[in-house]
Structure 1
């Protein structure tokens, strides 16, 4: 089985005698038998830690779950610093969680959660921070300060949590480089290994933002009182 792996600016072809193997198995085989200098990240091997996220044929996958195919083209994640081969620095991506304040800020001690309340944001809690959505997002190509899919999903998780006593503060946080900068292209949802729809979460945050008095800054013209367009 022949595959091509991006190393620095070039692609290197490897021919490996494997069938029905995961990409991680193939990478380990190459490293142990053909090229010990090949660098990649892995951890749990169970699609839980997210550390083996990379791109295959222009789509983000987890190497431990993806079944490698003849002719696959393998690259590191986009929108992040490449340290070596398929290893990337996720620090900048993870900083979006800090800027978006994706944690329970003010605890409402009176809140009592029902099973239905728990279901509202249970899926968002499954995010493994693999960075696939960060890599797939086209907005980063033009706005490096964009909070991005998994950070905004994290915000929605707590905005929708009855235990958060100050959801308005979180809504305020995502108005700049946040909910209105997303193009709703849905690329993040298509590559999420946990089937989380950040697009849907961002749409819900937009609705909450509107209810809080915010408007999309891209459409500030609106209508004048005489019925004509104002600019």
Structure 2
């Protein structure tokens, strides 16, 4: 079994005995038995911590759950500075949460969450901070100020939370380098190990934005009327 790993600007090929390995097990075998200079991140080994996210054959995976195959090519995540080999610096992607104010900002102390309200944003709470959505995002690749799918999903979580007393403030913030910059390509949803659809969350944020008077600046207001970019049922009109 041969595995190709990107290291700096070069690719190195490692050969292992055939076997049923996870990618993380294969990387550890290479490090302990072949090349102890190989660097990668790992943590829980249970697809919970997200620290072992990387790309295999140009698709984001968790190394602890991906079953390695002969001929696989392994690379670090995209759109983030490489520290060494398969280890990347996630700080900038996390900083986008601060820009987006992706937390409960003004708490409505009179609001309480019942079971049904909790389930509305239950999926968004499952994010494991792996960064796969950022890595797969074509917009983030060309616009480093784009808030990105991870932060926008978190914004929707709190905009949709009835305990948030000022949802409009969050909507105001995401108008620049935010919801309208997304191409809705769905890459983020495809690679998310927790099956979170950031695309769907961004679409809901666009609908909420139109309710506050915003529209897609890329389309403008044809004929002098207000065009939110969405029909009355919330479906895109473009």
TM-score where L is the length of structure 2: 0.93
Match in the other structure for 2:72: 72
The separation in 2 between residues aligned to 1:222 and 1:76, in whole angstroms, is 44
Offset at 1:141?
2.3
2:134 matches 1:145: no
The separation in 2 between residues aligned to 1:16 and 1:93, in whole angstroms, is 34
2:110 matches 1:110: yes
2:55 matches 1:62: no
User: Is the deviation greater in 104-113 or in 204-213?
Assistant: 104-113
Offset at 1:55?
0.1
User: Is the deviation greater in 16-25 or in 181-190?
Assistant: 16-25
- Aligned 1:45-194 pairs, distance under 5 A: 45-194=45-194
The separation in 1 between residues aligned to 2:129 and 2:179, in whole angstroms, is 19
The separation in 2 between residues aligned to 1:45 and 1:208, in whole angstroms, is 38
The separation in 1 between residues aligned to 2:109 and 2:141, in whole angstroms, is 42
User: Is the deviation greater in 96-105 or in 130-139?
Assistant: 96-105
Q: Render the CA deviation track for 1:166-214: whole Å, top value 9, x for unaligned.
A: 1111111100000000000000000000000000000000000000000
User: Is the deviation greater in 196-205 or in 103-112?
Assistant: 103-112
The separation in 2 between residues aligned to 1:140 and 1:115, in whole angstroms, is 35
Q: Render the CA deviation track for 1:75-134: whole Å, top value 9, x for unaligned.
A: 000000001100000011111111111111111111121111001000000001100000
Q: Render the CA deviation track for 1:124-163: whole Å, top value 9, x for unaligned.
A: 0000110000000000122110000010000000000011
Offset at 1:29?
0.4
The separation in 2 between residues aligned to 1:221 and 1:164, in whole angstroms, is 31
The separation in 2 between residues aligned to 1:86 and 1:209, in whole angstroms, is 38
Whether contact under 8 Å (1:188, 1:198) holds in the other structure is: yes
**Unmatched 5+ residue regions in structure 1?**
226-231
- Give secondary structure in 1 for the equivalent of 2:74: strand
Whether contact under 8 Å (1:146, 1:177) holds in the other structure is: yes
The separation in 1 between residues aligned to 2:47 and 2:144, in whole angstroms, is 28
Offset at 1:220?
1.4
Whether contact under 8 Å (1:18, 1:26) holds in the other structure is: no
Match in the other structure for 2:215: 215
Offset at 1:221?
4.2
Q: Render the CA deviation track for 1:21-78: whole Å, top value 9, x for unaligned.
A: 1000000000000000000000111111111000000000000010000100000000
**Unmatched 5+ residue regions in structure 2?**
226-238
